[in-house]
Structure 1
Amino acid sequence: MPVRAWRAEQHEAETAAALLIAFRNHNGADWPSDNAFYAGVEKLLEDPNTVFLLAAADDDSPPAGVLQLRFRFGIWKAATDAWIEDLYVREDARRHGLGDALITLAIELAAERGCRRVELDTNEDNAAALALYERHGFSTRSKGGPGRDLFLGRPIDAE
């Protein structure tokens, strides 16, 4: 049976949140709390600019992968941009095509929505993720200029 990926519905919020909690744990973190993840996914599923995708190895298997896709208007493309905020596949389900299925569906949904680009960030030491993204046409030179495109961030401390 082929891998399947689909858009999560409101009743699948707990499943999506559980996979994101596993992602948090995989990254060695313990914050935000489990409850914050559950509440956050429920809230974001109500947002028309956020989509969660789920993937399973086949029709008889539970979801083992999740992707969070967000949309925003981008002035430089005069169209909507898509941002892959999170992509996680459980360790025991990796290398079976779930990540490919999630990325493929995310690109299809972005195209259907009229997006002119899909962006994401990942750690440069994550060779498996980089290989996955490169297979789908992602590049560190997607903006067309010389040099690599870099994603920068800065925390804002609440005091």
Structure 2
Amino acid sequence: MSAALTLATPDHLARLLPLVAAFHAEAGIASTEESREAGIAPLLAGEPYGCAYLIGPPRAPIGYVVITFGWSVEYGGLDAIIDELYVRPGVRGRGIASEALHAVPRALAGGGLRAIHLEVDRDNPAALALYRRAGFTPRDGYMFMSKPL
């Protein structure tokens, strides 16, 4: 099974939304069909603040990754956050998420990206190990904080 990435377009919305719903249910993220569509559809339509990639065959994706873009003075320019990464439970443990995490920087390399960040549950050793294997390191003394508006 391959972790080939396909840049998602509006034509992929119907295939992507069930994956987003599955991820949110598994992660305990409270969301509605409307909020998931409002969060993902603009990215598929070319919204410049991010993009989504299907993992695996576009007709039957086995996962997805959502990237959002920002700007960092510290890193000297364009940076990105892996907002969501999901692989179907039935195909986990085969290196697909690792492959995707290595493919994302290659897919974005031509755009001048300076850094990629992500947020991870400190109590999820499997995710921590996955992200460390992909080259992500925790920043000593820092933690991600949020304030919903």
Q: TM-score, normalised by structure 1?
A: 0.82
Determine the C-alpha separation between the residues in 1 that align with 2:95 and 2:7: 17
Question: How many residue pairs end up in the alignment?
Answer: 148
Q: Is the 8 A contact 1:100 1:132 kept in 2?
A: yes
Aligned equivalents of 1:7, 1:98: Cα separation in 2: 17
Alpha-carbon distance between aligned partners in 2 of 1:114 and 1:81, rounded to the nearest angstrom: 9
* TM superposition shift of 1:60: 9.3
Candidates 121, 137, 147, aligned match of 1:123 = 121
Partner of 1:48: 48
Map 1:97-136 onto structure 2 (within 5 A): 97-136=95-134
RMSD: 2.1
**1:154 is the counterpart of 2:111:** no
1:1-159 equivalence runs, <5 A: 2-29=2-29, 31-46=30-45, 47-56=47-56, 59=57, 62-141=60-139, 147-156=140-149
Show structure 2 runs of 5+ residues with no match.
none
Q: Return structure 1 stretches of 4+ with deviation > 6 angstroms.
A: none
- CA pair 127-77 structure 1, distance change in 2 beyond 3 A: same
Q: Structure 1 counterpart of 2:115, which letter?
A: R
Please state how far the C-alpha of 1:105 moved relative to its aligned partner. 2.1
Percent identity of equivalent pairs = 28
Shift of 1:51: 1.0
Q: Verify the 8 A CA contact 2:63 2:88 in the aligned structure 1.
A: yes
Q: Which runs of 5+ in 1 are unaligned?
A: 142-146
TM value normalised by structure 2: 0.87
